[in-house]
Structure 1
């Protein structure tokens, strides 16, 4: 296992496993993925409703607010977008850590890991386009790119700190 981690194979396995989860998820319709029923059970008292009602913004040309979407759909929006950011954060970081032992150049590894992750995000949105009941959004690719970029940047900073023995 230590060798798998050292040569990056473990991280590549993690990246591809998360990609498989995303592919499966994108094969489902919105209704199959909906977490609204779960949220209605867990948050039946609608905590923080008054505070959340003050939030309103536009995403992909649609108003996102409690008034426009309802309490549970509003919360689900943040769950879904948080999942986008987090999953692509894991893929981007895993690609970086998995490719670094092979490429050796930190900057080149970062660029390749980011491009591969964003490319997969684009393919995922295309997959959603051909799946019934799904809406592909360019804004989701931007969110995915931000997640991947954040992870890669943190990995690069960590590598720099470790190399310089700052701590």
Structure 2
């Protein structure tokens, strides 16, 4: 049952990525701008004299979203593969391969979304996020086995 639920989590996460990628450019930008404004408001409470250029920060928020959404996908995939008995370098490589292929397909998908386009830089950011997520998972798993 755990294995099935883990793959359902992967599929739902991929669906969430697809949903965000399917938003036309103006909707996607509105969402990230709203998030950026929340971040700016929070930071200004802590550091009231900070000068932010919302446009620059918005770009940073968007690129970090790419990284972290694929970091989570990498963790979900490596976990599902481990539960299926795909272990070690084979599991890590397969999880990374699936994440990179999904990132590429996601960018190709955006070619058909109004105002959006494919960006090689986003595939690199997505892949880096997946790589880090897989690495974090493996390190935590290793430490729990060594310490436990």
TM-score range, shorter chain: 0.7 to 0.9
- Which residue in the other structure is 1:143 paired with? 125
Instruction: Determine if the alignment matches structure 1 residue 16 to structure 2 residue 18.
Output: no
Correspondences of 1:97-112 after superposition (within 5 Å): 97-112=79-94
Shift of 1:131: 1.3
List per-residue Cα deviations over 1:21-51 (Å, max 9, x = no partner): 11111111110122366368654789621xx
Higher helix share: 2
Secondary structure class of the residue paired with 1:34: helix
Distance 1:119 1:37, change over 3 A: closer
Instruction: Determine if the alignment matches structure 1 residue 82 to structure 2 residue 64.
Output: yes
- Which residue in the other structure is 2:144 paired with? 162
Distance 1:125 1:104, change over 3 A: closer
| CA RMSD across the alignment | 2.3
Q: Is the 8 A contact 1:14 1:91 kept in 2?
A: no
Secondary structure class of the residue paired with 1:103: coil
Matched residue count? 141
Q: Is the 8 A contact 1:15 1:90 kept in 2?
A: no
Correspondences of 1:18-167 after superposition (within 5 Å): 18-35=13-30, 38=34, 42=38, 43=40, 48-49=50-51, 71-165=53-147
Aligned mates of 1:112, 1:158 — CA distance in 2:
19
Secondary structure class of the residue paired with 2:114: coil
Which stretch of structure 1 is more off in the superposition, 95-104 or 39-48? 39-48
Aligned mates of 1:41, 1:102 — CA distance in 2:
42
Shift of 1:113: 0.5
List, as ranges, runs of 4+ consecutive aligned residues in structure 1 with deviation greater than 3 Å: 39-47
Q: Which runs of 5+ in 2 are unaligned?
A: none
Secondary structure class of the residue paired with 1:136: coil
